[in-house]
Amino acid sequence: MPNGLCLLLGVLAAGAGAEAKDKPMAFVRVSPRDARYFELTDGRPYVPIGLNMIQPPGKADADRRLAEMARWMEKLSAHGGNYIRVWLGADYWDVEHARSGAYDEAKARRIDAMLALARKHGLRVKMTLEHFRAFFSKRSWTNKAIHHVSNGGPARDIADFFDGEKARAQFRAKLAWFARRFGDRPEVFGWELWNEADCIRRGGYEAWTEIMLAELQRRFPRNLALQSYGSFDNASKSARYRRLALMKGNDVAQVHRYLDLGARLEVCHGPVDVLAADAVRELRSYRPDRPVILAESGAVEPSHSGPFKLYAKDTAGIILHDVLFAPFFAGAGGGGQIWHWGQYVDRNDLWWQFGRFAEAVRGIDPPAEAFRVRTVEHPRLRVYVLAGKRTVLAWCRDRRNTWRSELAEGKPPETVRGAAVDLSKVGDLPANAAARTYDPWVRRWRDARRTGGTVALPDFQRSIVLRIEPPDAE
């Protein structure tokens, strides 16, 4: 293990120990007050705000790579973020890289260092255990040949890895090793079995998932147990996602969906807020009493052939903005989680967008509110509404401003002038409730004029948040 990484781990571990002694870190759980949302085990609400951050960049030495990831984590935390996702099968973390069933303690200490950084910055980590799709293929990132019998592994082919009892027993042993090494860690948001398991073309991944979710719950009783499927970009995915959402042992209904002009579903070609909200609504329809998370999103070249070329023009972060806001206001348990953390978010320095979402939901306790998810018709705006017991939140998105108009056609955002939103049909609004607006693009709160259920909006571009609550709510 490099000396620099040892030193960093020692410093962070000392800091984490002191923090744990003075203020124990709580675990994330599905809220017993409202199972659509999360909370911490000390009763505080938890709204995931973050992104995929799979591993450190590049192929440089371990110290420099971890230092770059530490910079990302610090940036995210400084702007109100509280969540990341990593792939433990990625090369930087992969403890099982030399031989099937053998675990590298030096790589494990890198995971220790990452979790210590997470504790330092107040982040929870979704730990994705595996992501390979074959033993031998032309795409190297999809392969893990060590599990093939020719290399001393337990499986004759990829189907045997999921269906064969020898391979299943070895995976259970791997879970047991992770539980001994990293179990009972409050920095862990949850354990995810596989990235996009349905992209594996052979083998009974669904039966395997149900078995291994039970193992996760047994091995990691204080962390969430999860599974993920590939991008919801065609009609055939509906049945798969329904089965996963309803599956016993799956604590969170996750969905992946991207802006993808090669997708068969037309919704994936249009405005990002629409495709994100649609995915959340679809999963909520399967099982309304389970948290839904848009766990991967963003924009890609047709049929996932590469990162979206128009990312370079999106210096304002309109795609990231829609990925963050639309899912939560459509009833998800948190903000949507963007992919392309380095090529898009960091390259365009868009970390501030996480802070704008964090500010919009600051002080909100979703389980206590028991939000009713609504939409309001408006000729100019798409109005997404969360109507709670004390608070009404609305996110108003200008229909005329999309990735196509602003990035592809080069049209600057228009100013929406003189708009008003009628919320009279979403529920009773207390007579003394005050209305305020938050413009996330200029970071400005304003008092708003309210006449009954109608609220006048100030001039704004792209989007604005409306918040109605009793004057003592803050």
- Where is 403: in which H helix or E strand? helix 403-403
Number of structural domains found in the chain: 2
Domain end residue (candidates: 366, 399, 425): 366
347 and 207 in a single domain? The answer is: yes
259 and 404 in a single domain? The answer is: no
- Where is 15: in which H helix or E strand? helix 3-22
Confidence tier at 59 by pLDDT (50, 70, 90) = confident
141 and 220 in a single domain? The answer is: yes
306 and 449 in a single domain? The answer is: no
- For the cut 70, the answer to whether the pLDDT of residue 7 exceeds it is no
Residue 134: per-residue pLDDT: 86
Residue 473: per-residue pLDDT: 59
Specify if 197 maps to a domain: yes
217 and 246 in a single domain? The answer is: yes
Specify if 362 maps to a domain: yes
26, amino acid identity: A
Confidence tier at 8 by pLDDT (50, 70, 90) = low
Residue indicated by tokens 């090529």: 343
Confidence tier at 246 by pLDDT (50, 70, 90) = very high
CATH of the domain at 394: 2.60.40.1180
Specify if 474 maps to a domain: no
**Across residues 61-77, what is the average pLDDT?**
95
Span 308-336, pLDDT tens digits: 999 999 999 999 999 999 999 999 999 99
317 and 451 in a single domain? The answer is: no
Segment 216-220 long-range contacts (CB within 8 Å, at least 24 positions apart): 216/175, 216/191, 216/249, 217/249, 219/175, 219/176, 219/178, 219/179, 219/183, 220/179, 220/183, 220/184, 220/188, 220/191
21 and 70 in a single domain? The answer is: yes
Span 150-175, pLDDT tens digits: 999 999 999 999 999 999 999 999 99
Please enumerate in sequence order all residues whose Cβ is within 8 A of that of 375, keeping only pairs 6 or more positions apart, or say none.
382, 383, 384, 385
- For the cut 70, the answer to whether the pLDDT of residue 33 exceeds it is yes
Joined together, the tokens standing for residue 258 give 């991207």
- Check if the beta carbon of residue 283 is closer than 8 Å to that of residue 242: no
Which one, of 144, 34, 90, lies nearest residue 386 by Cα?
A: 34
Give the integer Cα–Cα distance in Å for 374 and 300. 30
Specify if 438 maps to a domain: yes
Give the integer Cα–Cα distance in Å for 116 and 12. 6
Domain end residue (candidates: 366, 391, 419): 366
**Across residues 96-125, what is the average pLDDT?**
97
Phi-psi domain of 317 (left: phi exceeds 0; alpha: psi -120 through 50; beta: other): left
Which of the residue ranges 87-91, 405-409, 419-423, 428-432 would you say has the lowest mean pLDDT?
A: 428-432
CATH of the domain at 281: 3.20.20.80
Domain range for residue 436? 372-469
Specify if 130 maps to a domain: yes
b/e per residue 436-458 (b: at least 16 CB within 10 A): bbbbbbeeeeeebebeebebebb
112 and 65 in a single domain? The answer is: yes
What percent of the chain shows pLDDT beyond 90? 86
- For the cut 80, the answer to whether the pLDDT of residue 139 exceeds it is no
Give the three-state DSSP class for 1.
Answer: coil
318 and 456 in a single domain? The answer is: no
- For the cut 80, the answer to whether the pLDDT of residue 117 exceeds it is yes
Residue 471: per-residue pLDDT: 76
- For the cut 70, the answer to whether the pLDDT of residue 88 exceeds it is yes
Strand partners, 224: 190
Length of the chain: 474
Q: Average model confidence (pLDDT) for the chain?
A: 93
Give the three-state DSSP class for 187.
Answer: coil
- Check if the beta carbon of residue 90 is closer than 8 Å to that of residue 128: no
Domain end residue (candidates: 343, 366, 389): 366
H helical segments located in 183-263: 205-219, 237-246
Specify if 296 maps to a domain: yes
Residue 5: per-residue pLDDT: 54
304 and 383 in a single domain? The answer is: no
Give the three-state DSSP class for 362.
Answer: coil
Specify if 94 maps to a domain: yes
Residue 344: per-residue pLDDT: 98
329 and 394 in a single domain? The answer is: no
- For the cut 90, the answer to whether the pLDDT of residue 127 exceeds it is yes
Specify if 171 maps to a domain: yes
- DSSP 8-state secondary structure symbol assigned to residue 405: I
Span 433-470, pLDDT tens digits: 899 999 999 999 999 999 988 999 999 999 999 999 98
- β-pairing, 83-87 vs 50-52, is parallel
Span 272-303, pLDDT tens digits: 999 999 999 999 999 999 999 999 999 999 99
Confidence tier at 1 by pLDDT (50, 70, 90) = very low
Span 193-243, pLDDT tens digits: 999 999 998 879 999 999 999 999 999 999 999 999 999 999 999 999 999
22 and 145 in a single domain? The answer is: yes
